[in-house]
């Protein structure tokens, strides 16, 4: 006699329930049919078959079977099954009635109160749902499942922190229960608490060391913390355990992109696309790595394919595709369409402090009465680049300029040769509310589109433009150096240069270096650096005005020196940002072989020539820069 049959004394209903709990639906169904053959109309057997139908995803069948059981014997647990099946089938009012009967017949059964809570929430009665769920918890206070359901209800009600607190309680009740830990980690990650989510994912991995999903989730959490090497190791392991999971391959591709391993990133994202070809998010990621590999035609086709899908609409992945398409178009000089596509960023990057309220978006038309609020949207470099459009905008409207405080003194150095610009442009004090005469708003990066400017405008220095050069042709040349961007940027590793790789620059005699690096960049290059006083960007601009040359990676320093008209050399990654594409190179090369930029004619690039990892990709452009620096020095002497 089988062990379960001995344990249940041959009772076919008890045997069926045991089989169902073990996940054996077919075995359970056989036992319930046996019970009905012995006793036709047996309500417990009918109820058991209703449970099998629900487990098989057939709530329609479960409703009929549970209804027959209730008609014979109106037991509370029959009503619970009937109510759950009705809920699953979308019959909310009938489900509520059945479950209310269950709570009346057996008020001490927490399952009835918990099931009723689900129906009440579906009907929008969240306060009543929470009360019902709390009654269930009062009956079974150490049940982690009920506590977790309440945590998720609180989160869905908008109380994210309360939900997390309850999820912590659920996890504490069952510290080795993976479901509770996973829910807690998910809530923490969703609340932006990546530092707290990561150790919870690590605990799950400890409990399930051979589970590919546990490795993949931990890898994704590490990636969210910019711990790229550890994330790669975890996702690599997950992909080896389960190579056919598109999400793992997608995340692995993103990590490899961040690490600068572009061909490997492309392979992983191609694998993800093959597994899930209709996934727009994966397609946009694949387009991004194609652009980074300078396979821009393929990237553009892929973005357009995402936008052509019938379900694109207001989808965020479609907005990402449109924004990425904008950068690709700008990089090849299709400016008008590129600026229009770039407007999709408003759907991707929420304005942290939208002080424009409900005012309309400015369309670029002349404003006769009132002012337009112009706001900085992204980094300092973007802001500096697009300040050049202010004079044209001021001809059409009075402007209220909302930009970071660190730029205020610098912006006041913008020239106004005919005295018409500054009377029509005011700086909004930091933290101040916009004045009441604001009638429209606009992002700085939208100005080319709204003003109908289809090309890079003619350049003249527009920040600290009258600064006198104080660098001397005699003695040591003074060269400013910035080797790293903001480390919180996910793909900073590709644009920043490991400072040790700049050692060849220090071999050039007759050059002294001045640090333009922001604080907290860690150890610098292996040669002496003067470190000037720190302050706002006007202070930095005045430091630059005392230099002969600026050498930088793609940060705000490149834009600042360029906007001043100061000589600046840009160390740029392979497949770099759209504004540094060859499309904007000036036609006449410099004595060292590079061409200036139409955005900043004094800026010359030393580009990576191959999509190699960062530890190799910078060797060749730094060597070229070292040789150019020696020629520059000789030209000054």
Q: Per residue, what are the HEC states of 7-31?
A: HCCCCHHHHHHHHHHCCCHHHHHHH
Read off the pTM.
0.85
Does residue 637 register a pLDDT over 70?
Answer: no
Dihedrals φ, ψ of 371, to 5°? Answer: -130, 160
Beta-bridge mates of residue 482: 552
Average pLDDT over residues 413-419: 93
**588 pLDDT band (50/70/90 cuts)?**
confident
Q: What is the pLDDT of residue 66?
A: 95
For residues 621 and 465, the answer to whether their CB atoms sit within 8 Å is no
Phi, psi of 158 (to 5 degrees): 100, -5
Average of pLDDT values for 204-217?
96
Strands of 360-361's sheet in order across = 360-361, 438-443, 371-375, 398-402, 425-427
Closest of 607, 604, 633 to residue 507, by C-alpha = 633
Res 58 pLDDT > 70: yes
Per-residue three-class SS string for 176-222: CCHHHHHHHHHHHHHCCCHHHHHHHHHHHHHHCCCCHHHHHHHHHHH
The pLDDT of residue 5 is above 50: no
In which band, very low, low, confident or very high, does the pLDDT at 465 lie, cut at 50, 70 and 90? Answer: confident
**Chain centroid to CA 328:** 20
Residue 469 pLDDT > 70: no
Q: How far apart are CA 534 and CA 524, in angstroms?
A: 17
Report the alpha-carbon distance of residue 68 to residue 31 in Å, rounded. Answer: 18
- CATH superfamily of this structure's domain 477-636: Glycogen Phosphorylase B; (3.40.50.2000)
Q: By CB neighbour count within 10 A (0-12 exposed, 13-18 middle, 19+ buried), where does 439 fall?
A: middle
Q: What does pLDDT average to over the chain? A: 92
CB atoms within 10 A of CB 25: 16
For residue 207 the two structure tokens come to 């409990």
Instruction: Please indicate whether residue 589 or residue 279 has the higher confidence score (pLDDT).
Output: 279
Using a pLDDT cut of 90, give the percent of the chain over it: 84
pLDDT at 40 over 50: yes
Predicted confidence (pLDDT) at residue 1 exceeds the cutoff of 50: no
The DSSP code for 593 is: S
Give the integer Cα–Cα distance in Å for 454 and 314: 26
Determine the average pLDDT of the residues in 523-546: 93
Distance, CA of 600 to CA of 381 (rounded, Å) = 13
Pairing of strands 398-402, 371-375: parallel
pLDDT, mean of residues 420-437: 94
Residue 41: pLDDT band (50, 70, 90) is very high
Q: Per residue in 553-562, pLDDT tens? A: 999 999 999 9
- pLDDT higher than 70, residue 2: no
**Quick one: what percent of the chain has pLDDT higher than 70?**
94
Given a cut of 60, whether residue 568 has pLDDT beyond it is yes
**Residue 636's pLDDT is what?**
65
Query: Does the pLDDT of residue 547 top 70, yes or no?
Result: yes
144 pLDDT higher than 60: yes
Q: What is the pLDDT, as a whole number, of residue 634?
A: 86
Is the pLDDT reported for residue 65 higher than 80?
yes
pLDDT of residue 467: 64
- 87: exposed, middle or buried (Cβ count in 10 Å: 0-12, 13-18, 19+): buried
Report angle CA 610, 263, 296 to the nearest 5 degrees. 70
Say yes or no to pLDDT of 510 above 70. Answer: yes
User: What's the confidence (pLDDT) of residue 489?
Assistant: 82
Query: What number is the average pLDDT over the span 396-419?
Result: 96
Enumerate the domain spans of the chain.
292-347, 360-451, 477-636
Q: Which long-range contacts (CB under 8 A, 24 or more apart) does 315-318 make?
A: 315/280, 316/347, 316/348, 317/280, 317/281, 317/283, 317/284, 318/280
Sign of CA dihedral 50, 52, 55, 58: negative
CA distances from 445 to 344, 346, 388, 458 (A): 11, 11, 11, 17
* Residue 175 to residue 313: CA distance in whole angstroms: 43
Query: Looking at residue 6, what is its pLDDT?
Result: 43
pLDDT of residue 501: 96
């Amino acid at each position: 006699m089988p062990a379960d049959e001995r344990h249940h004394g041959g009772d076919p209903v008890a045997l069926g329930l045991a089989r169902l709990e073990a996940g054996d639906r077919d075995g359970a169904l056989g036992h319930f049919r046996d019970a009905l053959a012995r006793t036709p109309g047996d309500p417990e057997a009918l109820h058991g078959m209703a449970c099998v139908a629900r487990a098989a995803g057939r709530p329609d069948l479960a409703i009929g079977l549970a209804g027959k059981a209730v008609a014979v014997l109106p037991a509370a647990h029959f009503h619970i099954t009937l109510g759950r099946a009705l809920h699953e089938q979308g019959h909310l009012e009938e489900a509520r009635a059945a479950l209310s009967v269950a709570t009346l017949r057996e008020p001490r059964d927490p399952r009835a109160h918990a099931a009723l809570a689900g129906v009440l929430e579906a009907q929008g009665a969240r306060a009543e749902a929470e009360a019902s769920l709390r009654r269930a918890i009062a009956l079974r206070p150490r049940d982690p499942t009920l506590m977790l359901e309440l945590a998720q209800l609180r989160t869905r009600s908008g109380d994210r922190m309360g939900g997390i607190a309850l999820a912590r309680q659920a996890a504490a009740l069952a510290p080795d229960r993976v479901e509770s830990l996973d829910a807690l980690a998910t809530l923490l990650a969703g609340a932006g608490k990546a530092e707290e989510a990561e150790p919870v994912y690590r605990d799950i991995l400890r409990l399930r060391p051979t589970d590919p999903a546990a490795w993949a989730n931990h890898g994704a959490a590490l990636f969210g913390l910019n711990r790229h090497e550890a994330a790669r190791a975890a996702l690599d392991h997950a992909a080896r355990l389960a190579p056919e999971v598109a999400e793992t391959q997608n995340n692995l591709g993103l990590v490899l992109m961040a690490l600068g391993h572009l061909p490997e990133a492309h392979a992983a994202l191609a694998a993800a696309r093959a597994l899930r070809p209709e996934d727009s998010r994966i397609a946009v990621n694949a387009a991004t790595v194609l652009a980074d590999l300078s396979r821009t035609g393929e990237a553009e086709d892929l973005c357009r394919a995402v936008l052509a899908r019938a379900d694109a609409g207001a989808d965020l992945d479609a907005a990402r595709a449109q924004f990425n398409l904008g950068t690709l178009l700008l990089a090849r000089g299709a400016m008008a369409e590129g600026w229009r596509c770039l407007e999709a960023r408003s759907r991707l990057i929420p304005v942290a402090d939208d002080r424009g309220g409900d005012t309309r978006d400015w369309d670029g038309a002349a404003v006769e009465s009132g002012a337009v609020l112009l706001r900085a949207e992204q980094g300092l470099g973007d802001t500096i680049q697009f300040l050049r459009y202010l004079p044209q905008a001021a001809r059409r409207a009075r402007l209220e300029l909302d930009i970071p405080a660190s730029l205020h003194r610098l912006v006041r150095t913008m020239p106004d040769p005919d005295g018409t610009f500054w009377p029509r442009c005011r700086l909004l004090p930091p933290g101040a509310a916009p004045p009441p005469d604001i009638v429209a708003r606009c992002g700085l990066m939208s100005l080319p589109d709204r003003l109908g400017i289809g090309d890079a405008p003619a350049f003249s220095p527009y920040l600290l433009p009258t600064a006198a050069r104080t660098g001397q042709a005699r003695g040591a040349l003074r060269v400013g150096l910035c080797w790293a961007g903001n480390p919180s940027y996910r793909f900073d590793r590709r644009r920043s240069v490991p400072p040790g790789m700049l050692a060849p620059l220090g071999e050039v005699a007759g050059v002294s270096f001045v640090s333009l690096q922001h604080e907290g960049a860690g150890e610098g290059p292996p040669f002496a650096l003067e470190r000037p006083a720190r302050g706002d960007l006007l202070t930095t601009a005045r430091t630059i005005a005392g230099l002969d040359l600026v050498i930088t990676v793609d940060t705000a320093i490149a834009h600042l020196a360029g906007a001043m008209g100061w000589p600046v050399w840009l160390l740029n990654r392979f497949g770099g940002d759209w504004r540094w594409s060859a499309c904007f190179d000036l036609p006449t090369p410099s004595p060292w072989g590079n061409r200036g930029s139409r955005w900043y004619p004094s800026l010359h690039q030393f580009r990576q020539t191959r999509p190699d990892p960062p530890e190799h990709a910078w060797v060749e452009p730094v060597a070229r820069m070292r040789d150019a620096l020696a020629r520059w020095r000789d030209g000054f002497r």
